[in-house]
Amino acid sequence: MNVGSLTGEDIVIDTNSLLVELSSDPKRAYVELGNRIADCIRNKAPTLREIITLAKIMAAYADNHNLAYYAKDDEEDWPGYLGKLISGAEYLGHEIEADDTVKAAFEYAAEYKNGKPLGFAYLTSEEKKAIHKHIDVIRKTIESSALEMRKKRAIYTRLAKLSAEIDKDGTNTDVLFGFIGELSFSLSKFEKDNRKAIEHAKDILEIIFRRRSTDEGISLPPADDFPLLPSSSKTE
């Protein structure tokens, strides 16, 4: 069903775009849908028709993908019901992140039996402090950028995961690469305005590469040769 765009006095909601480019995993997609709808109504004054439509979109998506969700009580008002659906999606997101963390912990423990696993950077406290400073600059740069809110949220989520990963005994470099890929993809059209974020991401890469190179006794490519980041030498 094409529900089109809904327009209120203080808000314009492009309902068609809510379901575009979601994760292929239904649970992760439902979490993203909840985030998008929360962004649509944050600090806004949606009409009752808009609220009902948004709630029905969330409920229909969950129902179509056999996901557990709150069913509306006959006496329940629609704004409260939409809030429950958004909260449920947020809770599901926390569950997914917890499951990912548990899985990674067991995988790491299994590999650790044979010595420190490859693919991890065993950072010193000073290296961790340096990376956290770079992460803070990236976050502030993204906050003031012209990116749309859903892309900002995606980067914030990656930043939070990266920050937590950095504090572990062994930092899984796949998490770093996932963040770098997301950052590069999101900022590719805004490189000039977001150069600071890109440069600090490269600084993080250099720290990780240097640590892994030292620990594993191999030569890894410098950050400037890493293919997922836009070139810093691009002519302005």
232 lies in some domain: no
Question: Is residue 200 domain-shared with residue 169, that is, in the same domain?
Answer: yes
100 lies in some domain: no
Question: Is residue 123 domain-shared with residue 219, that is, in the same domain?
Answer: yes
What are the structure tokens assigned to 175, written together? 């998490």
Domain, as residue range, for 133: 116-225
Give me the tens of pLDDT residue by residue for the chain, a chain 236 residues long.
Answer: 333 455 444 456 777 788 888 889 999 999 999 999 998 888 777 888 889 999 999 999 999 999 988 888 888 899 999 999 999 999 999 898 888 877 777 776 666 656 555 577 888 999 999 999 999 998 888 888 877 777 787 788 888 888 888 888 888 887 777 777 777 766 665 556 667 888 888 888 888 888 887 877 766 555 555 544 444 444 33
Which residues make beta-bridge pairs with 172? 120
How far apart (Å, rounded) are the C-alpha atoms in residues 18 and 57? 9
How far apart (Å, rounded) are the C-alpha atoms in residues 159 and 19? 24
Question: Is residue 122 domain-shared with residue 220, that is, in the same domain?
Answer: yes
Residue 212, SS3? Answer: helix
How far apart (Å, rounded) are the C-alpha atoms in residues 140 and 178? 20
Question: Is residue 129 domain-shared with residue 218, that is, in the same domain?
Answer: yes
User: 75: which DSSP letter?
Assistant: T
Residue 189: its pLDDT value, please?
Answer: 57
Total number of domains constituting the chain: 2
Question: Is residue 61 domain-shared with residue 135, that is, in the same domain?
Answer: no
40 lies in some domain: yes
124 lies in some domain: yes
pTM for this model (two decimals): 0.55
